[in-house]
Structure formats: structure tokens, C-alpha cells
Amino acid sequence: KWLAAYDQQTAAAKRTLQHAEGLRFLFLRLHKQDFYLAHNRSVREVFFGDLGFHSAKTADTPSEQTISLENIANCQADCMMLFLFKEPETIAYYQQLQQTEAWQNLSAVRNNRVYLLSFDPWNEYSACGHERIVQQTISLLSGDSP
């Protein structure tokens, strides 16, 4: 019963988000001054699998791998989904980074498609977590998020 309802939920989400179906997404974590790919199991299975979005980087690339700003640029992502650690050094670095030409030249940044994500529910692998990922994706990409 839950699977049937979830399938209906993801089908409705796909219809709502048709405008974004051709975009390439890159999930990143920023901790201190290092970016990491953040294509964890929930992201791979729900966002790229169930919702059918496209990755700017091979979705099975290990999440613990650091990635340079130059390599981020080479991915040519249309959208960046960014997890920021909520600690002073990371926040200060991110504020500083946003002022740089290298950051401002990223396609996702130029097109105002950098989305800050909370770790919950994106790092949770559960039925409830999957539903909340679908709901957050709709809010973020439909323009309904604050």
C-alpha cells in the first residue's frame, strides 16, 4: 500500500517538475574549505532514480571524494544542490567563496540555481525520508521554497 502511494507521489512530482527534467544536477557537501561529492544512497535512489533527474557527474562516484572548484566547473551542472556544514569555518569560507570570480562564473550560480539543503532528510534512508525528499524537491524546484 505504501509503495503504491509513493509511486503516485513520485509520478505527481515528475509532472509538477517537468520543466526541470532536462537539467543536470550536482550534489555537493562543503566542510571547512573542501567540497565533496554528495551522491549518497538516498540521492541516487530517490532523486536520480525515482524522480528521474540527471546527474552532472556519474551518480555512483564515491561521496567521500573531494572535488575541486575547477572540477565542479568542468561538470557544467545546471543546478547545484549544496549541503553546508553549520560551523563557523565552513560558513565563513562559503561567504568568501561567493565573492570570487571562479564561483560566480559557474553556470548554476549565474542562473541562480544553487540550492542549500539540510542534511535531514537527504541523508536519511527510510520510507519517511524518501517521501520528504520528494516533497522538498517539489518545494525547491517549483519555486515554492522561501
Question: pLDDT band at residue 59, thresholds of 50, 70 and 90?
Answer: low
Tell me: pLDDT of 146 over 60. no
Question: pLDDT band at residue 142, thresholds of 50, 70 and 90?
Answer: confident
Q: In whole angstroms, what is the distance from residue 30 CA to residue 11 CA?
A: 31
pLDDT value of position 145: 45
Give the closest residue to 131 by CA, choosing from 1, 16, 10.
Answer: 10
Q: Domains of the chain (ranges plus CATH)?
A: 21-141 (3.40.50.1980)
Average pLDDT over residues 54-71: 79
Handedness of CA 144, 83, 104, 53 (dihedral sign): negative
Percent of the chain whose predicted confidence (pLDDT) is above 70: 93
Give the closest residue to 30 by CA, choosing from 89, 70, 78, 73.
Answer: 89
pLDDT higher at 93 or 61: 93
Average pLDDT over residues 84-95: 96
To the nearest 10°, report the CA torsion of 56, 114, 145, 130.
40
Mean of pLDDT over the chain = 91
DSSP string, 14-58: HHHTGGGTT-EEEEEEEETTEEEE---HHIIIIIIIIS-PEESS-
**What is the model's pTM?**
0.90
